[in-house]
Chains A and B, each alone.
Chain A
């Protein structure tokens, strides 16, 4: 991991500003030493020969996603430049900054990287991995690409000046040091005869990097090394400066007014996940209360550990909100209706909530007219903001909804000023429609198409709770005539699995139903676990319905592959390690009541007992170790590749 982050430490802001690469420039990603100032000198010896010999030989794989997937968990510093890098660079993918890429290690991602223990139990695990559909990544091409990569490495070693013959990680550092002593010009000399366009760019870039590194020698190093611990796409120095400036505590407000013409580092700065509202911060809670539309009474007997999350008395808000129907002029009726339904729990599930919200926004945009002397862009954004804060008061936003709101706001912000109001509205409406169709509905279809290849005859599939994507998958597989059995695992208090069970049985699928306690009892017979997710976070953590982590853990223990079905629009660049820092608290009364079991009444008056707090968590975070594979609309990826999807596709598809 150390080595992987080095390129980040090296690329300080100055390099970023000047180093705007056109596609085709192989950047200096092969550095592998510790963040020593000298290590930022140009690693020309690594880049140029390989890049040189690469360009005529290598055929770029069809998708650069596949190249990203190759990034295995282990980084071998001796493989400086994999051909896939060059291949990717030759594809015009837009203006991403390649210096931020870490070096891929093509070698590690074999089929058992999906689930390290499969082979122990299943002899046919190889088949599983190699039967990936066309939409996914092509394993064979990856493996083929590996061999040239290693041979190229030796080529680059040969080109080095004598004295540097070692090839391991330590030697890499020595190479860098020596380079910096001789100076960047000298180091580029042996490359003079190579005149590829990409080559010259690389040299230029390397020189710039060297200059920047020597300039910021003393001051930048601590910042860079501290950046080692920060998240992958966070610019450490800038992020630290930026975060206190942001006063707004709405979680979605960070991304507004994003311009495409901004310099990239500013753009990047915006990507740093905004700190969430902490509800144990008294002054902020007071401020928020003043603004709020819904009067909320804090629940009594809250669990101390979860003071930072909002928890309100349930049941008091709905009637009050209903009575306010005619007083709430800032909120559009459609939004209002959706909010009420969130509050009442009518709509649940990430996709359903997101679609309902977007459709309500569509309604409100249809009815929208710009007030005189106001710009549509600004006014509509503030309107949407007020809607969003209303919805947050009804129920905290899911991450998927936050992403959708970011999308909508960026669309509004990017509307050309010249457009008339009706045109602008029409564009926005169609944009929202497109989002719903492409990112949710079509995405689900693609996921089902991918995932169904993983279901074989005779499989016993386990699912937990009720995930719309998994349900579609199971029904589709059944329609294809596959012969399998489904284990529906459920958990109190929501018991969503019952509804899923009913629908599946209605389709004629043979099912087994059980509660989560018995999951280790039933796991013996299970061959695959398919789970849905509320969100997939950048560190591979799957944020989902509470209990998912338990199921994944038990499956991991029993060496059963865990496949997560999640649309890519739910991915988020936030990172999270536990389920406590960020979560949602449900109605504690739900725990006290056991429907159909009247004799269990020991908790009926729990609120009057000072020593008892009930905790009804809604989500939990599944560590990425338990996840064998995430099936998204961009293909099937290991959890380590989530940041790739977040970075690449977010920027290109969602925000432009």
Chain B
């Protein structure tokens, strides 16, 4: 992908004009972009986000009281800036928002969990409890009345000089726990492929015909794992035009072939709370065809792709539109572009969306690293992995 390299350079140029903190974050973004480019996709960005948050937490100085809230605020702050720093919009917007948001929510959840756990709660710090409760019950209010971080640091550090050593130990403890948990999260994300692929044998049998669309590392590993177990099967790969990550069958031939297919296995971008999936464009069509012929649609997704968001119009609001030049060589159409209708609007529009939203009715099974689930159960998983007070959607138009 040579044009990606140019994109990265352009990105770096733009970043140089930005201020300090954002600059640091943008560097992370560049790293993400590179990982994305290397084909790690969403998982790469998730890992990168987790690593970033880990370092943010490790350098964060904690106030003696309500340490958890401080951590949460810090993480949130970074998250918002991470989204805001999204400098080019494209292609970062397409992959960043959901995965970055998911990881940030996961980390926030981890902080809350660790904070609640008895090991860190032994001192029974009243003030902290109250703040935590306040945060818990009214996140919106908490956000508004939250004192600025720096201010908090100053006031508390001077006021409670005496108990500094104790507090230091306490905050160290919380921080360590959180960082450990984040390490586990990173570990989880790293091994999600293997965990998912382990289940392949249960789902793929001998002489099956499988259809997939586009390119997905999860699907690849899933199929390879089945192959390693000496199962022989056929795979139809629809190419996923115009990005053409996959190949060997035109997308339009999906309907013709689906009647001979035993199972559709696709990788996705995100799984929403209602069990629907945000997937590379074209999969809705495949899922519909599969439904027509009663072919099961299996979605393989790491747990970090679970997304607590649910919007009423996901095919538009959770989507991204890419350059028309992927579909049309605009040079060839330059003569047509001159035509304008009465109101001067151009005659040609090109729709080049990146994602499809597949409603949960069309999904038979979601295989995550912790096992297979019906789409209707996804809400429960999400409740396990995220805290409800983080479902808030904030930022102007960013999904965090």
Given contacts A502-B333, A511-B348, A512-B351, contact A546 B252 (CB under 8 A): yes
B93 interfacial by beta-carbon distance below 8 Å: no
B384 interfacial by beta-carbon distance below 8 Å: no
Given contacts A501-B348, A511-B349, A549-B256, contact A516 B336 (CB under 8 A): no
Which residues in chain B, 371-393, are within 8 Å of chain A measured between CB atoms?
Answer: none
Given contacts A498-B328, A506-B336, contact A591 B250 (CB under 8 A): yes
**CA of A524 to CA of B348 in the docked complex: distance in angstroms?**
18
Verify A515–B251 contact, CB threshold 8 A: yes
Verify B347–A620 contact, CB threshold 8 A: no
Q: Which of B1, B255, B328, B329 contacts A579 (CB 8 A)?
A: B255
**CA of A513 to CA of B244 in the docked complex: distance in angstroms?**
18
Task: Among B2, B239, B281, B347, find the residue whose CB has the most chain A CB atoms closer than 10 A.
Answer: B347
B149 interfacial by beta-carbon distance below 8 Å: no
Verify A578–B328 contact, CB threshold 8 A: no
Looking at chain A, what size class is its interface with the partner chain? 35 or more
Q: How far is the CB of A100 from chain B (nearest CB, A)?
A: 31
Verify B282–A516 contact, CB threshold 8 A: yes
Q: Which of A505, A579, A594 contacts B244 (CB 8 A)?
A: A594
Verify A518–B353 contact, CB threshold 8 A: yes
B259 interfacial by beta-carbon distance below 8 Å: yes
Verify B256–A578 contact, CB threshold 8 A: yes
Segment at the B interface, from A145-153, A386-394, A611-619? A611-619
Given contacts A498-B328, A519-B285, contact A620 B336 (CB under 8 A): no
The residue of chain A having its C-beta at the shortest distance from the C-beta of B245 within the complex is: A600
Interface string of B1-38 (1 = CB under 8 A from A): 11000000000000000000000000000000000000
A129 interfacial by beta-carbon distance below 8 Å: no
Q: Which of B236, B257, B288 contacts A520 (CB 8 A)?
A: B288
Verify A505–B248 contact, CB threshold 8 A: no
Q: Which of B244, B251, B280 contacts A516 (CB 8 A)?
A: B251
Verify A502–B251 contact, CB threshold 8 A: no
Chain B residues near A508 (CB-CB < 8 A): 339, 341, 347
Chain A residues near B240 (CB-CB < 8 A): 517
Which residues in chain B, 70-123, are within 8 Å of chain A measured between CB atoms?
Answer: none
The residue of chain A having its C-beta at the shortest distance from the C-beta of B215 within the complex is: A602
Which residues in chain A, 511-567, are within 8 Å of chain B measured between CB atoms?
Answer: 511-522, 524, 545-547, 549-550, 553-554, 557
A509 interfacial by beta-carbon distance below 8 Å: yes
Chain A residues near B254 (CB-CB < 8 A): 550
A209 interfacial by beta-carbon distance below 8 Å: no
Interface string of B251-265 (1 = CB under 8 A from A): 111111101100000
Q: How far is the CB of B276 from chain A (nearest CB, A)?
A: 13
A376 interfacial by beta-carbon distance below 8 Å: no
Given contacts A549-B255, A557-B288, A600-B244, contact A514 B250 (CB under 8 A): no
Verify A614–B289 contact, CB threshold 8 A: no
Verify B327–A599 contact, CB threshold 8 A: no
Chain B residues near A620 (CB-CB < 8 A): 252-253, 255-256
Chain A residues near B324 (CB-CB < 8 A): 513
Verify A305–B255 contact, CB threshold 8 A: no
A583 interfacial by beta-carbon distance below 8 Å: yes
Given contacts A491-B241, A597-B244, contact A510 B341 (CB under 8 A): yes
Verify B256–A583 contact, CB threshold 8 A: yes
Chain A residues near B315 (CB-CB < 8 A): 520-521, 524
**CA of A580 to CA of B257 in the docked complex: distance in angstroms?**
7
Verify A502–B250 contact, CB threshold 8 A: no
B292 interfacial by beta-carbon distance below 8 Å: yes
Verify B248–A591 contact, CB threshold 8 A: yes
Verify B251–A492 contact, CB threshold 8 A: yes
**CA of A620 to CA of B254 in the docked complex: distance in angstroms?**
10
Q: How far is the CB of B232 from chain A (nearest CB, A)?
A: 10
Q: How far is the CB of A436 from chain B (nearest CB, A)?
A: 30
Verify A580–B292 contact, CB threshold 8 A: no
**CA of A602 to CA of B245 in the docked complex: distance in angstroms?**
10
Chain B residues near A602 (CB-CB < 8 A): 247
Q: How far is the CB of A576 from chain B (nearest CB, A)?
A: 11
Which residues in chain B, 313-356, are within 8 Å of chain A measured between CB atoms?
Answer: 315, 319, 324, 327-329, 332-333, 336, 339, 341, 345, 347-353, 356
Interface string of A202-233 (1 = CB under 8 A from B): 00000000000000000000000000000000
Verify B336–A505 contact, CB threshold 8 A: yes
Verify A513–B256 contact, CB threshold 8 A: no
Q: Which of B2, B253, B345 contacts A617 (CB 8 A)?
A: B253
Q: Which of A498, A501, A514 contacts B351 (CB 8 A)?
A: A514
Chain A residues near B369 (CB-CB < 8 A): none
**CA of A603 to CA of B237 in the docked complex: distance in angstroms?**
13
**CA of A596 to CA of B239 in the docked complex: distance in angstroms?**
16
Q: Which of B288, B349, B351 contacts A553 (CB 8 A)?
A: B288
Q: Which of A505, A550, A579, A583 contacts B285 (CB 8 A)?
A: A550
Verify B348–A505 contact, CB threshold 8 A: yes
A621 interfacial by beta-carbon distance below 8 Å: yes
Q: How far is the CB of A598 from chain B (nearest CB, A)?
A: 9
Q: How far is the CB of A562 from chain B (nearest CB, A)?
A: 14
Can you list 9 pairs linking A and B with CB atoms under 8 Å apart? A305-B260, A501-B333, A516-B241, A550-B252, A579-B256, A579-B257, A591-B247, A591-B250, A592-B247
- The 10 lowest CB-CB distance pairs between A and B, nearest first, are A547-B252, A517-B282, A579-B256, A549-B255, A491-B252, A620-B256, A514-B351, A520-B284, A512-B349, A505-B336
A505-B333, A549-B255, A553-B285 provided; 8 other pairs, C-beta below 8 A? A520-B288, A521-B319, A547-B252, A553-B292, A579-B255, A591-B249, A616-B253, A617-B253
User: Residues on A close to B: CB < 8 A?
Assistant: 304-305, 487, 490-493, 498, 501-502, 505-506, 508-522, 524, 545-547, 549-550, 553-554, 557, 578-580, 583, 591-592, 594, 596-597, 599-600, 602-603, 612-617, 619-621, 623
